[in-house]
Amino acid sequence: MYESFYNLQAKPFQLSPDPRFFFGSRGHRRALAYLRYGLGQGDGFVVVTGGVGTGKSTLVQMLLAELKRQRNVVAAQLVMTQLEPDDLLRMVAGALGLENEGLSKAALLRKFESYLRKQRREGRRVLLLLDEAQNLPARSLESLRMLSNFLDGEQPLIQSFLLGQAEFRDTLASPRLEQMRQRVIASCHLTAFEEEETRSYIEHRLGNVGWQHDPSISDEALQSIHQFTRGVPRSINTFCDRLLLYGYLEGLHEISVETVEAVAQELNLELQDEEEAEGEGSSAEGGSRMARLERRIELLEEALSATRDGLNQALAERYG
């Protein structure tokens, strides 16, 4: 849609984590350094926390992309929910390809230890990357710590990376998890971007898809984007994607502060519509502005299609 209008090779602000778009802000470089440090140590737990949308999942994808180039690493990535200890153990076993149906906890632990020792004998390391770790209750985290008791001499047979939202720090501060805290070898907390980082982030993502300053974005517009999104990467992605769509629909090649404010107003009105619809128990009006916007897109695409068809027919008649 707007990609062809602005001669972009792909959508620059997609929401799904993609290591190709990794932006090395000061905080994200620090977090990635901690992950790499922990990987080099091969021991204990590495903890990365941050608010919603600050880029934790992108960090995981970045690390996984690096691990794929290492044949001596077996990595399992899981997104956590409210799992009890036994369910967590079965989920970890399943992620590693271990059969666990119908096995008692003791039998599953024996199978798990046997698997870890086999990987070690064959020169491979086993890593767990657990996202949304704040969803795990303390008793399940304690069960996870128990897995780190599987040793080869003094070297643990498994290492875990825990990524969670800010409240996960409070969970780890619990007296019940003191032994786990003692095994955390590195931890860091991701925050939102500063204003200059927001600007660099936007230009970085646009540059990755062949942006040639079409559309141009004024300094005031970039400042306004930072204020509206508060520098949260996911919010920036959502807002800028909508901003480019708006620019495409309006035929703009310059993004001004007025353009940013218009999009911000649209988004705020849509949010109000949704909240009102939820309050009234009806979805008929909620999202009505989005429906109108989608209809505008459909009409524009129909017009473009008709123009192409007319041009092709004219060429065929002339050169037929």
Q: Tens-digit pLDDT profile for the chain (320 aa)? A: 799 999 999 999 988 888 888 898 888 888 888 888 888 888 889 999 998 889 888 887 888 888 777 778 888 888 888 888 889 989 998 898 888 888 888 898 999 999 999 999 999 889 999 999 999 999 999 888 888 888 888 888 999 999 999 899 999 998 999 999 999 988 889 999 999 999 999 999 999 999 999 999 999 999 999 999 999 999 999 999 999 999 999 999 999 999 999 999 988 877 765 555 555 554 444 444 445 555 555 555 555 555 455 544 544 454 44
C-alpha separations of 23 from 6, 32, 54 in Å: 22, 11, 11
**pTM exceeding the 0.85 threshold for the entire prediction:** no
Q: How far apart are CA 140 and CA 138, in angstroms?
A: 5
In angstroms, the CA 38 to CA 179 distance is 18
- In the chain, which segments carry CATH 3.40.50.300? 26-190
Q: Integer distance in angstroms from the first to the last C-alpha of the chain?
A: 31
CATH class of the region 26-190: alpha beta
Tokens at residue 37, please? 């440090």
